[in-house]
A and B are shown apart, each in its own frame.
Chain A
Amino acid sequence: MELDLGFFVQQFLTGLATASTLFLLAVGLSLIFGALGIVNFAHGSFYMLGAYLLYWVARGDPEGLWWGMAVVVAIGLVLGALVERIFLRPVYPRPEHHQILLTYALLLVIEDGVKILFGSAYKSLGPPSALAMPVWILGAPFPAYYLVQILLAAAVAVLLWLFLKRTRVGLWIRAVTQDREMLEALGVPVPRLLTGVFALGIALAVLGGAATLPMQTVSPGVAVEAVISAFIVVVVGGLGSIWGSLLGAFLIGEIQAFGVMIWPEFSIAFVYLLMAVVLLVRPWGLLGRPPVVRT
């Protein structure tokens, strides 16, 4: 009995670790869509790039993880800001399909860029030695690094929430999703605000990708897989809401972890089933807002 409970907790924590990665990935996609109105197909590519950048910055040394992640997040911020300024800003007034084409082009460019710089082979970096041994929880072994991922995602969720809820810039970000022009007419530097939101979203994706490297290998193919997962999370949770990304990531992480126990070969089917049900019952996502007609 005790062993069963241990196994249950182990699966639950594994699900949380998956959810943590999904959250970091999806919340940026959601923030960017909310503020800029742009569906960023390249989001998974930045996630993949984060893992490669960490590999490159840490130079194969697992002990370089911590400062490596800090450097990678800084690179993500700068890169995000540059991409917004150079590529996205000119397409805001354009029709939606131009914006989609542009972010899709970014996806292709990043994929080939990574192949040129790092080759197509898988890259990996083990966890730092302090986290290499499993921790035992209720008699079941559990990778210590997973706990780091869970804490990291929890910290990001709390900080993001505080930032959006308690700061003036956070208030502007919530407002810009509702009426960009009016916000600008009140004297808020909206162009800079949008640059900041995109940079933040990209930094989160890059962080999410980097944080998986000690547990998973990375290859260029990770990008498309990641962006599809991110879309599933925001479809389930609701686009444009942090809590939606959190709930979507949690449900999908846990469904995968427990689905493996029920039907190992097809655990992903449960995820698609959940998405289908949500789309039928609440097409705007569990915590998303139904579209309102403004008067």
Chain B
Amino acid sequence: MLKAKGLSAGYGRIQVLHGVELELKKGEVVALLGRNGAGKSTLLKTLIGLLPARSGEVLLEDRPITELPAYRRAQLGIGYVPEERRIFPELSVRENLELAARPGGPWTIERVYELFPRLAEIEHRSGGYLSGGEQQMLTLARTLVTNPRLLLLDEPTEGLAPILVKAIAETVAELKAQGMPILLAEQNLAFTAGLADRGYVLETGEVRLKGPMRELVKDPRVKELLAL
């Protein structure tokens, strides 16, 4: 579905990604592993188009989208859930959802309220007053209501209490069961182990290892790359 071919990107003079090759196929959850600063977020930003590619290509269903602005990529079905959550702090929970909602799929505001009942309870609360867990639910819900065809999910468990990590894992599993392709950036190997089908391990902006998840979890080199 989504492919990166020889993708390079960076900030100013610093090049972060060096010729990344990666693929996300229909219906699969793919883990993007790597320790702090490995380039996971940079890769996701380059895929959605918030960061320009310096070389290489991004393909969506074999169509090159490298030159398209981020909003066109989003309209074509790439759903991006940022690491920093980036809730609009001065808008209410409901407004955060309304501005993103796009018809053309199963996801409506009512439906994400069913998935995260907590959001319905606080729908009039201002985005700036949410807890970390609420922010994480809202950022995921906000991308879902755009009815994406695939998800780029950046460290959804970062800074969350174990009980919330479990809730997020259940949600991701549920989305997977519905056939949503997900590229899941994580440092947390345990979290991805039960969810992902395949994985890539990044180090200093290059893919060092890739393979089926059940092999990666046993591979001592993965633990080393993740500094576990």
| Chain A interface residues (CB < 8 Å from chain B) | 168, 171-172, 174-175, 178-179, 181-191, 289, 292, 294
Q: Return chain A residues, CB-CB under 8 Å to B74.
A: 184-187
Q: Return chain A residues, CB-CB under 8 Å to B102.
A: 187
B91 touches A184 (CB 8 A): no
Nearest residue (CB) in A for B132 is A295
Closest Cβ of chain B: how far from A86's Cβ, in Å?
A: 18
Name the segment of B2-10, B82-90, B163-171, B215-223 touching the other chain: B82-90
Q: Return chain A residues, CB-CB under 8 Å to B50.
A: 181, 184-185
Nearest residue (CB) in A for B81 is A185
A191 touches B142 (CB 8 A): no
Q: Return chain A residues, CB-CB under 8 Å to B91.
A: 171, 174-175, 178
A178 touches B90 (CB 8 A): yes
Name the segment of B54-62, B92-100, B117-125, B187-195 touching the other chain: B92-100
Asked if A185 meets B90 with Cβ closer than 8 Å, knowing A171-B95, A190-B71, the reply is no
The list of the 9 closest CB pairs from A to B, nearest first, reads A187-B74, A182-B86, A186-B100, A184-B70, A187-B75, A184-B71, A185-B80, A178-B88, A171-B99
Q: Does B46 contact A (CB under 8 A)?
A: no
Closest Cβ of chain A: how far from B91's Cβ, in Å?
A: 6
Q: Return chain B residues, CB-CB under 8 Å to A190.
A: 71
Q: Does B66 contact A (CB under 8 A)?
A: no
Q: Does B179 contact A (CB under 8 A)?
A: no
Closest Cβ of chain A: how far from B191's Cβ, in Å?
A: 23
Closest Cβ of chain A: how far from B68's Cβ, in Å?
A: 11
Nearest residue (CB) in B for A188 is B71
How would you classify the secondary structure of chain B's contact residues: helix, strand, loop or mixed? loop
Q: Does B37 contact A (CB under 8 A)?
A: no
Q: Return chain B residues, CB-CB under 8 Å to A191.
A: 69
A186 touches B99 (CB 8 A): yes
Excluding A174-B95, A185-B71, 8 further A-B contacts by CB distance (< 8 Å) are A174-B88, A174-B91, A175-B95, A178-B91, A182-B88, A185-B82, A188-B71, A189-B71
Q: Return chain A residues, CB-CB under 8 Å to B89.
A: 178, 292, 294
Q: Return chain B residues, CB-CB under 8 Å to A183.
A: 88, 99
25 examples of A-B residue contacts, CB within 8 angstroms: A171-B91, A171-B98, A174-B88, A174-B90, A178-B88, A178-B90, A179-B88, A182-B86, A184-B50, A184-B69, A184-B71, A185-B48, A185-B70, A185-B82, A186-B74, A186-B99, A186-B100, A187-B71, A187-B74, A187-B100, A187-B102, A187-B146, A188-B71, A289-B90, A294-B89
- Tell which of A175, A181, A289, A294 touches B99, judged by Cβ atoms closer than 8 Å: A175
Q: Once the chains are docked, how many angstroms separate the CA of A189 from the CA of B68? A: 12
Closest Cβ of chain A: how far from B12's Cβ, in Å?
A: 12
Q: Does B143 contact A (CB under 8 A)?
A: yes
Closest Cβ of chain B: how far from A291's Cβ, in Å?
A: 12
Interface residues of B in 96-142 (CB under 8 A from A): 98-100, 102, 128, 142
A179 touches B98 (CB 8 A): no
Q: Return chain B residues, CB-CB under 8 Å to A294.
A: 89
Q: Return chain A residues, CB-CB under 8 Å to B88.
A: 174-175, 178-179, 182-183
A182 touches B82 (CB 8 A): yes
Closest Cβ of chain B: how far from A126's Cβ, in Å?
A: 45
Nearest residue (CB) in B for A169 is B99
Q: Return chain B residues, CB-CB under 8 Å to A172.
A: 99
Q: Once the chains are docked, how many angstroms separate the CA of A174 from the CA of B70? A: 19
Q: Once the chains are docked, how many angstroms separate the CA of A184 from the CA of B80? A: 10
A186 touches B69 (CB 8 A): no
Interface residues of B in 130-187 (CB under 8 A from A): 142-143, 146
Q: Return chain B residues, CB-CB under 8 Å to A178.
A: 88-91
Closest Cβ of chain A: how far from B150's Cβ, in Å?
A: 14
